[in-house]
Amino acid sequence: MEITTALGLILGFACIIITILIPGATLGDYVDIPSIFIVVGGVVASTVVAYPQKTLKNLIKVMSNAFKAKKIDLQNDIDMIINVANVARRESILAIEDSVRAFNDPFFLKGAMLVVDAVDPELVREVMEMELSYIKDRHSSSQSVILQMSSFSPAYGMIGTLIGLINMLGSLTDMDSLGPNMAVALVTTFYGVILANLVFTPIAKKLKMMGDEEVLRDELLLEGILAIQAGENPTLIRERLNAFLPHSSLDKRGGASS
């Protein structure tokens, strides 16, 4: 589990709850079912209108990825690529299939099989860069939906507030209900702002960072595939791929200084 996502949400809600309770208010003062309905229901409705079904059908699954830890070890990937390169150098390019399958990565497997099938290097790069472009587009599409939901949330909070104010102004003759009605009207904006700034925007940014890490890994794998196809020396391949590592990783191996 990606502990920072859950921890951040818990900490954010805890700060809000504590701030509510310190002056002596109760959580019940901030709970209003119609307000929740207009904000959550409105955001869902606008999102459904704005995007096609194929974009929305995996949205919940995509958002859940922000809570799942996906370990990416670029150093281990480089070691696996060098292992494959050594097999290709000792035996032949046709002998790498077993090593590639042991790597157990669909992107790397697809590229390596093109190499095994003796596809022209330029065509291998073209095919794999197109695959990488599709991956980037999928990530960007999901992130844009969540960011759009973030912009819908305050808007529906304001709509709910306006509805509450209209209802309040329609019953001005009852002065005793003026204060409670005003509070209910404002709590809708409160919900919209929380959803936007504590839920949707942070999740979209977390998914973008995770997506960027995945794309970086695939770019490393692609460079490794092309280097193996070109028959480069495994030592030179490692030096080239080390450029994808952060300096801190290289420092530990004595490969660079910060």
**What count of Cα atoms within 13 Å lies in the side-chain half-sphere of residue 32?**
23
Indicate the pTM of the whole model.
0.84
For residue 244, pLDDT beyond 70: yes
Tokens found for residue 149: 């939901």
d(CA 122, CA 112): 14
pLDDT, tens only, 209-222:
999 999 999 999 99
Q: How many domains does the chain have?
A: 1
pLDDT, tens only, 161-200:
998 888 777 767 766 666 667 777 789 999 999 999 999 9
**24 lies in some domain:** no
**169 lies in some domain:** yes
**180 lies in some domain:** yes
The more confident residue out of 256 and 191 is 191
**21 lies in some domain:** no
d(CA 233, CA 82): 9
Listed residue (96, 77, 75, 74) closest to 87, CA to CA: 96
pLDDT, tens only, 84-106:
999 998 888 888 888 888 888 88
**105 lies in some domain:** yes
The residue segments making up the domain with residue 142 are: 34-246
**62 lies in some domain:** yes
**154 lies in some domain:** yes
Tokens found for residue 186: 């404002």
**2 lies in some domain:** no
